[in-house]
Amino acid sequence: MAGVPVEKECFVATVLVKDLIEAGVHFGHRASRWNPKMRPYIYARRNQIHIIDVRETIRGLLRARKYLQQVIARGSLVLLVGTKRQACDVIEQQGVRCSVPFVSDRWLGGTLTNFRTIRSRLTRLEELEALRSSDKISAYSKKMQSSLNREYRKMYRNLNGIRAMDRLPECLMIIDPRKEKNAICEARKLGITTVALIDTDCDPDEVDLPIPGNDDSIRSIELIVTLLADAIMSGKNAAGAAKQEQVEGAVAAAV
């Protein structure tokens, strides 16, 4: 691959078209449900199903990986968002692996635009956790205990993934912008960059860095999210190495 950077060449060699096809990334929606703006990303139509151009998927992946690495390397936050049934588990797994905030159960209105209020609810979550871990909860009636436990479970599902998000993210990584339209709307209002896996029924104009691909297949979502999570980990490693060099440079200067 003449003229292609070594890192990009290695990535393309690792993520073969075969891997994407085996995961079903190339399968779009029925032709009757397509968004005409997705025309540049569609390769063909087979049995009334649109086939996504895998070359466009790889281009989108390369751009997204590079951007996510840069965002993490300079110390900014990336928020993973995927609440549909096929995406929630992998979003949570990769969010935990990369130590980045995630939303996998339900997008709360105002998560970004009303961030201060959302943060205050996290305080309530911590109060409930402290209460449940102590003997104080036994002082309440059984009915009140049940109510408090129910409140805790609901808040935990909705807020646990973003409890470490102490500031607004620079980027949202989203699965299916149609499903996460509220997250897209809030991000655009605040000027936050969006990276998204988009199917043939989506509007690519609503996303800053689209990755055309199947957003309904568990295998497809898992492959794409894992590759993007690997880029986040690379950014963290680069940031750690740069910080270590700064420390060593400061020590050498002091000596």
Distance, CA of 207 to CA of 81 (rounded, Å): 14
Which CA distances in Å does 250 have to 68, 151, 239, 241, 254? Answer: 28, 49, 17, 14, 6
Residue-wise pLDDT tens digits, 79-135: 999 999 999 999 999 999 999 999 999 999 999 999 999 988 888 898 998 888 888
In this prediction, residue 239 carries a pLDDT of: 78
81 sits in which H/E element: strand 78-81
pLDDT at site 2? 44
Instruction: Give residues with Cβ within 8 angstroms of 158, minimum separation 6.
Output: 105, 106, 108
Q: Report how far residue 131's alpha carbon sits from residue 126's, in angstroms, rounded to the nearest whole number.
A: 9
**Any idea what DSSP says for residue 180?**
T
Those residues whose C-beta lies under 8 Å from the C-beta of residue 178, and which sit 6 or more positions away, are: 201, 202
Residue 11, token pair as written in the block: 């990535």
Q: What is the DSSP letter of 79?
A: E
**Residue stretches of the chain with pLDDT short of 50:** 1-4, 13
CATH superfamily of the 6-112+168-254 domain: Glucose-6-phosphate isomerase like protein; domain 1 (3.40.50.10490)
From 77, 44, 91, select the one nearest 197 (Cα to Cα): 91
Question: Whole-angstrom Cα distance, residue 49 to residue 66?
Answer: 31
Delimit the CATH 3.40.50.10490 region(s) of the chain.
6-112+168-254
Would you state the CATH architecture of domain 114-166? Orthogonal Bundle (1.10)
Decide: 71 and 80 in contact? Cβ < 8 Å.
Answer: no
The pTM of the whole model exceeds 0.85: yes
